[in-house]
A and B are shown apart, each in its own frame.
Chain A
Amino acid sequence: MRMRVDHHPVLGKQTDRKQVTIFFNGKPYDAYEGDTIASAMMAQGVYALRQHEVSGNARGVYCNIGHCYECRVKVEDRKVVRACLTTVYHGMEIDSLSGFSEGNE
């Protein structure tokens, strides 16, 4: 699944960007330089970015500009960031935060 808007009737053609590889829960995905984690994953059709701490239900991007904190993910095994504000880089390792019930976190 690829959901890029390469050609736009008003904004024009998307100029060539450098492709990078990122890892989400250990699996490699294509992304472009300038992508946020949120846009890169959505372009691949991956909507669920974390599990709710208590219910374990899937959660994803809601506001996309840093206000709602719904898209929190873990980067490089330590830092929790908002996926919608964080720019990707080649080799970036991103992991979902899981529900407490599973005893993972």
Chain B
Amino acid sequence: MKVWNLLIVGAGPAGLNAAIAAAGEGLKVKIIDEFNRIGGRLLGQLHQEPNGEWWNGIDVANRLHEKAITLGVKIESGVSVYDLEQSEFGWKVYTSEGMEKTEKLLLATGATEVPTPIPGWTIPGVMSIGAAQVMGNVHRVKPGNTCVIIGANVLSIAIANELRLCGVEVKEIVISQPNSSLTHSGTPEKVMESLLQLTHLAPSVLLRQAGRVAKYIHPSLAVKFYPKNGMNILDIPIKIKTAATEIIGDKKVKGVKTVNIRSNGEIIPNTERITEADFVCIAGGLAPLPELAALTSCEFKFVHELGGHIPLHSERMETNEPNLFVAGNITGVESAKVAMAQGTVAGLTIASEIKGNKKHSDSAIEEALLTVRKEREEALIQFQPNIARARELIYQQFELDWKAESPKRSIS
């Protein structure tokens, strides 16, 4: 049975670029992904860059896919990974299509959506915002003609616009009920604060305008004067002073029950109403998807700025587990461009370990690291503030724990 130099789990922006970099250095590479198409989260993405050009994730995915194929990378879709095991040659990877052997293993499994459970959220027709994005942009199926989105964040506003392009009427974006033990979202003031932090980087001109104004206004004041009926962005009413209390329907969703709330999250009595919709989206944000790394003795760290629990790793994408590497959103939620750049770093690092051509590879890796930093700085959508700082701390922690002679200690 063949032993691959490198097996990659996840055919998204990080996995594909890692394969391209590694195969470019002569490695025998295979990628597996459980979705039935290649491209991962790239496939759903569709937004306008500041220069007016469209970022069409499907086109980007197709380009990377073709390039990888040209370099001899073997790619399989519709295959799931169930278990990992260290072995004398590297790793045994157990999949739905049998066992694979590889020297090096790269986990590029991306991110998952954080659910916001509210009463009625399991009714058919209620789905995560990413589910609707994939339905519309990838499968070219509208989940319905009208929708309500629960959760006001940069991702939900961007996808609301994508649904609009698919011909869906987004009736309103409301927030999930504040102060609920089940949800992470805060009061209108907190929601405003996070939206304002993001607006100067947001994709639409309108959001950027809002950001400019916001520089001179404190969030608490902005939310005080925020209109009760919401503000329209691209014709979509964003109501941060309206909270969803329940989703109604039986075999199929009928609509969302909402109440008006004050800036501090207090419910205003007698304001309950129902907005009817064909489907309802829940937008709770993204978190890294590190399950497979958790099957190993890889060290984990919780980093709020990076979206949750991540495998501790170096800037060169190594983990403390021998022959195990990570790249992309499994290391923290960021844009596809950052994930692509990280993929290149991982691919080159792995090639360098296998080929042992340190001098040649070190300069290439340094250059790839510069691209990661540049993409991070220029990122259009920053999911959390202070990502760069949080990243630095992780790299320092890795050096302290696994490279230095001194005993382990925590720096954050």
Q: Which residues of A approach B to under 8 Å, CB–CB?
A: 3-6, 8-11, 14, 35-36, 38-39, 42-43, 47-49, 52, 57-68, 70, 84-87
Contacts and interface: CB of A to CB of B under 8 A. Distances in A.
Interface stretch (B65-73, B99-107, B118-126, B336-344): B118-126
19 contacts: A3-B141, A3-B144, A4-B141, A10-B46, A11-B58, A11-B140, A14-B140, A38-B135, A39-B135, A48-B124, A48-B252, A58-B251, A62-B115, A63-B112, A64-B127, A64-B131, A64-B132, A86-B36, A87-B36
A15 B134 CA distance: 18
B294 interface: no
Contact of A60 (B36, B124, B140, B250): B124
A5 B141 contact: yes
Contacts of A63: 112-113, 127-128, 130-131
Sort A-B residue pairs by CB-CB distance and give the 3 closest, nearest first: A60-B124, A64-B131, A47-B124
B289 A6 contact: no
Nearest to A66: B34
B234 to A, nearest CB: 13
Nearest to B125: A47
A40 B47 CA distance: 26
Contacts of A49: 124
Given A10-B165, A47-B124, A42 B141 contact: yes
A11 B56 contact: yes
A62 B125 contact: no
B139 A35 contact: yes
Contact of B36 (A14, A36, A67): A36
A58 B125 CA distance: 10
Given A5-B141, A10-B46, A11-B58, A65 B35 contact: yes
Contact of B141 (A11, A43, A62): A43
Contacts of A9: 165
B302 interface: no
A85 B127 contact: no
Contacts of A48: 124, 251-252
B122 A61 contact: no
Given A9-B165, A57-B122, A66-B34, 20 more contacts: A4-B141, A11-B140, A39-B135, A42-B141, A47-B125, A47-B251, A52-B122, A59-B122, A61-B135, A62-B127, A63-B112, A63-B130, A64-B127, A64-B128, A64-B131, A65-B130, A67-B113, A67-B289, A68-B128, A84-B131
Interface in B135-155: 135-137, 139-145
Contacts of A57: 122
B84 to A, nearest CB: 18
B141 A39 contact: yes
A21 to B, nearest CB: 17
A6 to B, nearest CB: 7
Given A47-B124, A64-B135, A65-B134, A58 B250 contact: yes
Given A4-B141, A42-B141, A58 B123 contact: yes
Nearest to A55: B122
Contacts of B165: 8-10
B36 A8 contact: no
A47 B123 CA distance: 9
A52 B132 CA distance: 22
A61 B78 contact: no
Contact of B54 (A10, A61, A70): A10
Contacts of B136: 5
Nearest to B168: A5
Contacts of A47: 124-125, 251-253, 279
Contacts of A39: 135, 139, 141
B167 interface: yes
Given A59-B122, A60-B125, A85-B34, A8 B131 contact: no
A89 B279 CA distance: 27
A57 B125 CA distance: 13
A59 B130 contact: no
A9 B56 CA distance: 12
Interface in B206-260: 250-253
A60 B135 CA distance: 13
Contacts of B140: 4-6, 8, 11, 14
A23 to B, nearest CB: 19
B166 interface: yes
A52 B56 CA distance: 38
A86 B139 CA distance: 13
Most chain A beta-carbon contacts within 10 A, residue among B46, B78, B128: B128
